[in-house]
Structure 1
Amino acid sequence: MRDHFLTLTGITPSIIFWEIWLARNTDRMDGVAVSALKVISKVTRWIHVLAPLLSLQPSVRRTSAKALDSLGLLGNVIIPRHVAMIKWTRPPPGWIKVNVDGSALGNPGSSRGGGVGRSGDRNFLFAFFSGYGFGSNGRVETKAIWARLSLCRDLGFNKVELVSDSKVVVDSLNRQGAISWALWYWWARIKALMTSMEVSISYSP
């Protein structure tokens, strides 16, 4: 569906120039100065008048929605989202499955990581949660993976199917993508652990 926000942004410069031209003439012809704030207010009013006529309620791009929100026009705009069905699957016999997730508030920002470990028959084995200080999403994800693999080794679980929601980190560990220098320290420690254990790392959104 066409993003009507693009039409609105296309005509907005004309509205801005029109209001600046009117303000200039009002100042020169009538001797009445028009402030920049008043010009901005008039432009915003034009946008509010035109927005409903352009049917902005249908689906728009996420970046467009942010701009609409800043103008107070978001309303009932539908932001398209991709839906994926996520299903827990059993690990191979003799293996355990560990789901790991980490995130940094603001990316970078204050970071946390956690997850859960289960046996092949879905029995709960352990859960974990840790704070990792200031960092990026990638850093906390790699650190969380290393910490949980270390825990598995210490608990005697040497066959681990680990699932992460960071495709970048998973691809790098499976040698399908490059690793950022900022993540190298924890990435190298994970790879070292993987040489002493049987580890399968996969991505799940």
Structure 2
Amino acid sequence: MTLNFKMERPKIPKDLKEGNFQDVFNDEDPYMCNCLISNTEADYAEIDKLTLSKAVINHVRLVNASFKRIDLTDAVFENCDLSNVDLSEGNLNRVVFKDCKLMGLNVSEANLGNVTFENCLLNLADFVDARLKHIQFERSSLQNVNFYDARFNKIIFEQCDLNRADFTGTALKGIDISSCHYDQLSVEPGNLEGCVVSSEQAIGFAALLGLRIKE
């Protein structure tokens, strides 16, 4: 799919120094920049208000970690397990998640801008009250994801599994889900205006609107 808006990609320096989340566990103002973090585990880590920028994180396991109110800018995550990671109330800008496990990710009340999720597992992720602008979900599984009362601005869903996703309270104007798969969605009829769907999907939404289609 050709994007109808310009995504800003992460700005990563060529020369990065090796880093580790353990280096800032006890810092009053935790800050990490220009770093490469790889092949490490930090399950259940808790770092509040972490600033992480210009970073590449690969093959890292951070299951059940808490990074509430994180300031994450210019970062690439590849082949990471971030299941149940808490990034709520954070700010994420120019970030790529590629081939990552993000089941149960919590980004509720967070601000996300220019963020790409490519070939990721996002089942049960929580985007409640989040603000999303210039976001791309590509070939990712979003089963049972909660987008309740989220605010969308230029969002792409390309070949994603949206089965049982909850869009209650979220306007879908301009959102194209025609290439996505689902058997069931939670969405309010009033928020469907301007949503782009396939002809097959339109039949299901017609039933939601109380229409009867005559063959």
Q: TM-score, normalised by structure 2?
A: 0.23
- Is the helix fraction higher in 1 or 2? 1
Q: TM-score, normalised by structure 1?
A: 0.24
Larger Rg, first or second structure (1 or 2):
1
